[in-house]
Amino acid sequence: MKMPWYSNKTIVLAFHVAIWALFFTLPYLLRPSYENGHQAQHSQNDTNSLIKYFCFNLFWVCYFYFNSYWLIPKLVYPKKYWNYGLIQLIIFVAAIVCDWVLFNIFLGKFRSYEFRPAILFVLFPYLFFVATSTSFRMIRDKILYDRLIKERENENLKTELSFLRSQVSPHFMFNVLNNMVALARKKSELLEPSLIKLSSLMRYMLYEADEEKVPLEKETEYLQSYIDLQQQRFGKNVELVFTCENPDKNYVIEPMLLIPFVENAFKHGTGMIEQAKIQIELKAKNNLLQFSVRNRYNPDSIEIRDKISGIGLTNVKRRLNLLYGDQHSLLVTREEGWFMISLQLNFH
């Protein structure tokens, strides 16, 4: 995954340096200018005040990172609030002492130090840096947490896709190969096109399905190859209707997103079922994909479960939610001996 710009250490360091440089120089830039007659009178006082200001700001810089990188994770996150409050009180007193020491060093010969206004002078910057350093840490952690969750979701999607690919293979491949052995023994002319379709199907599963997106045409060709091989296996025992309209533009879709529904139809819509029938329809127009699968099923069969291609309907829904969110709808119904799945999604 490409690192976002805000995770680049050089950029982050340069950003921090720029913010602190602006913070340190702002009072100097806003310092009033004096006429020549008053310049000598205020020059030394202003210089010493600026030196004191810069030195005292070093205290706040240290506090900012100490609170962000040590106090928050060590005391706030573990909910040691009393310890955190005590240390904050000690830091506030230390800030007043630091201000008093710096005042006596740089400004003591010009005027006397007054504690009451000094406490207010320290209190407001202290509250400001408490708020900013705490917000900085929590926003930083939230960004890292969201990024970690996103990475986990992406890894889960990759894992589910790999698992899906492995689940499509064994049972289906075993039956197809058995069927090809029978064709070879009969020296049937159907053997060569069947091998070509199987090769195309394997190539898609093993190589092209590793891509993040594939052309809808490729996904449709994969479905067609899968359906043709299944039709060849079942022959006249299953009435199959596959309607696929050519899309009005070049759409892309996540690989192997549709095959679980088709595999489910063959898994539960064939076998000990009278008048087995499967109907599959795919349309793609106006940035909208409409995909439906209908198959007859036996309500008394113990094999009728809410599973699709071995990964479960729940996992299929989860994958769609992660990829499309509220940009899709999935409807699963059973009525009058028909199991129906209807999927609509908006192309990204």
Domain spans, the chain: 5-148, 158-346
Strands across the sheet containing 338-346: 239-244, 277-285, 288-296, 338-346, 328-335
Which long-range CB contacts under 8 A does 85-88 form with residues at least 24 apart? 88/130
Structure tokens at 175: 């039956």
The answer, as to whether pTM is greater than 0.85, is no
- Write the pLDDT tens digit of every residue in 288-312: 999 999 998 877 664 444 444 445 5
Measured distance CA(164)–CA(272) in Å, rounded: 26
Among 2-16, 30-44, 166-180, 185-199, the minimum mean pLDDT is found in: 30-44
What are the two backbone dihedrals, phi and then psi, of residue 209, each rounded to the nearest 5 degrees?
-70, -10
Structure tokens at 231: 């039709």
Report how far apart, in Å, the C-alpha atoms of 59 and of each of 15, 77, 99, 105, 122 are. 20, 24, 10, 16, 11
Residues in the chain: 348
Structure tokens at 228: 């043709």
Coil/strand/helix, residue 57: helix
Report how far apart, in Å, the C-alpha atoms of 288 and of each of 243, 258, 262, 291, 300 are. 16, 14, 19, 10, 36
> Cα 301 to the chain's mean position, in Å?
40
Measured distance CA(101)–CA(92) in Å, rounded: 14
**Higher model confidence: residue 224 or residue 179?**
224
% of the chain residues with pLDDT over 90: 20
> Cα 275 to the chain's mean position, in Å?
45
- Write the pLDDT tens digit of every residue in 239-265: 889 999 877 778 998 888 888 888 888
Q: Do residues 226 and 171 touch, judged by C-beta distance below 8 A?
A: no
Q: Do residues 338 and 332 touch, judged by C-beta distance below 8 A?
A: no
* Residue keyed to tokens 């696929």: 244
Pairing of strands 277-285, 239-244: parallel
- Write the pLDDT tens digit of every residue in 190-207: 788 888 888 887 888 777
Burial track 77-106 (b if 16+ CB lie within 10 A, e otherwise): eeeeeeebeebbeebbeebbebbeebbeeb
Q: Which of 60, 50, 46 is nearest to 98 (CA)?
A: 60
Report how far apart, in Å, the C-alpha atoms of 114 and of each of 45, 53, 92, 100 are. 17, 17, 17, 9
What are the two backbone dihedrals, phi and then psi, of residue 282, each rounded to the nearest 5 degrees?
-135, 130
- Write the pLDDT tens digit of every residue in 41-68: 445 566 777 778 788 888 888 999 999 9
Q: Which of 306, 318, 304, 320 is nearest to 270 (CA)?
A: 304
Region of 347 on the Ramachandran plot (φ > 0 left; ψ -120 to 50 alpha; else beta) = beta
Query: Which sign, positive or negative, has the C-alpha torsion 175, 243, 296, 327?
Result: positive
Structure tokens at 25: 């120089």
Instruction: List the beta bridge partners of residue 339.
Output: 295, 334
Structure tokens at 160: 């589910």
**Higher model confidence: residue 276 or residue 167?**
276
* Rounded CA Rg of the chain: 35
Mean predicted confidence (pLDDT) in 130-144: 90
Q: Which CATH superfamily is domain 158-346 in?
A: Histidine kinase-like ATPase, C-terminal domain (3.30.565.10)
